[in-house]
């Protein structure tokens, strides 16, 4: 990765990718790009009826209308509180209820909770959650053609397998690059 490359992604580039987005089953957006580009991505996805999975990392408060337009939000508990401008001590289930789009909340070794409609539901099937957030989000995008419960369960299974030991890193763990779609055996088109 080139340092600073994410900061150079522009709304104009998002608009130029409109045909690619139109053919996609899902678009994954993270907060590592400029906020105006995140907004352009969420708005384009909504206009084209393509689900945008908003991974709010690094966490920051977002306008509620962006969340209404997003297909899904995939924060951890800390990120969700910041995203909503809420007290971090608030029960995560209450925060999930306040989120205006379907939400998949990752809780490390406790697994994931999801809420599409109604009350949050716990999905506990964790192999190892260390360093696998990007893989979890990519796998979720691959499996969204199924119902949300199955997509969360499948993403948890894949992200645990993709967290591998890396001796050159100080932390020792990272999400392995690579083959989420191949592992999933899916022909899903992601933008």
pLDDT at 190 over 90: no
CATH code at 6-184:
3.40.1190.20
Cα dihedral 121→127→129→131 (10° resolution): -150
Which residue of the set 25, 134, 147, 187 is catalytic? 134
Q: Does 134 qualify as catalytic in the annotation? A: yes
pTM for the model stands at: 0.77
- pLDDT (tens digit, 9 = 90+) per residue, 128-174? 555 567 778 888 888 888 888 888 888 877 544 443 333 333 333 33
Higher pLDDT, 150 or 56: 56
- Residue (of 149, 83, 137) closest to 113 by Cα position: 149
Local confidence band at 188 (pLDDT 50, 70, 90 cut-offs):
very low
What is the model's pLDDT at position 155?
80
Residue extents of the structural domains in the chain: 6-184
Lowest mean pLDDT among 30-39, 56-65, 89-98, 157-166: 157-166
Higher pLDDT, 166 or 15: 15
Q: Decide: 31 and 55 in contact? Cβ < 8 Å.
A: yes
């Amino acid at each position: 990765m080139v340092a600073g490359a994410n900061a150079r992604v522009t709304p104009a580039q998002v608009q130029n990718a409109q045909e690619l987005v139109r053919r996609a089953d899902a678009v994954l957006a993270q907060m590592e790009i400029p906020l105006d580009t995140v907004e352009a991505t969420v708005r384009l996805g909504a206009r084209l009826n393509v689900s945008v999975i908003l991974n709010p990392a690094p966490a920051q408060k977002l306008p509620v209308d962006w969340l209404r337009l997003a297909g899904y939000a995939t924060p951890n508990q800390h990120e969700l509180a910041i995203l909503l401008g809420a007290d971090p001590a608030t029960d995560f289930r209450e925060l999930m209820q306040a989120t205006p789009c379907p939400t998949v909340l990752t809780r490390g070794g406790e697994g994931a909770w999801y809420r599409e409609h109604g009350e949050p539901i716990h999905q506990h099937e964790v192999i190892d959650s260390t360093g696998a957030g990007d893989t979890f989000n990519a796998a979720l995008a691959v499996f969204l053609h199924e119902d949300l419960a199955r997509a969360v369960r499948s993403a948890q299974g894949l992200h645990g397998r993709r967290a591998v030991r890396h001796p050159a890193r100080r932390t020792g763990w990272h999400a392995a690059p690579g083959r989420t779609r191949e592992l999933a055996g899916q022909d899903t088109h992601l933008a």
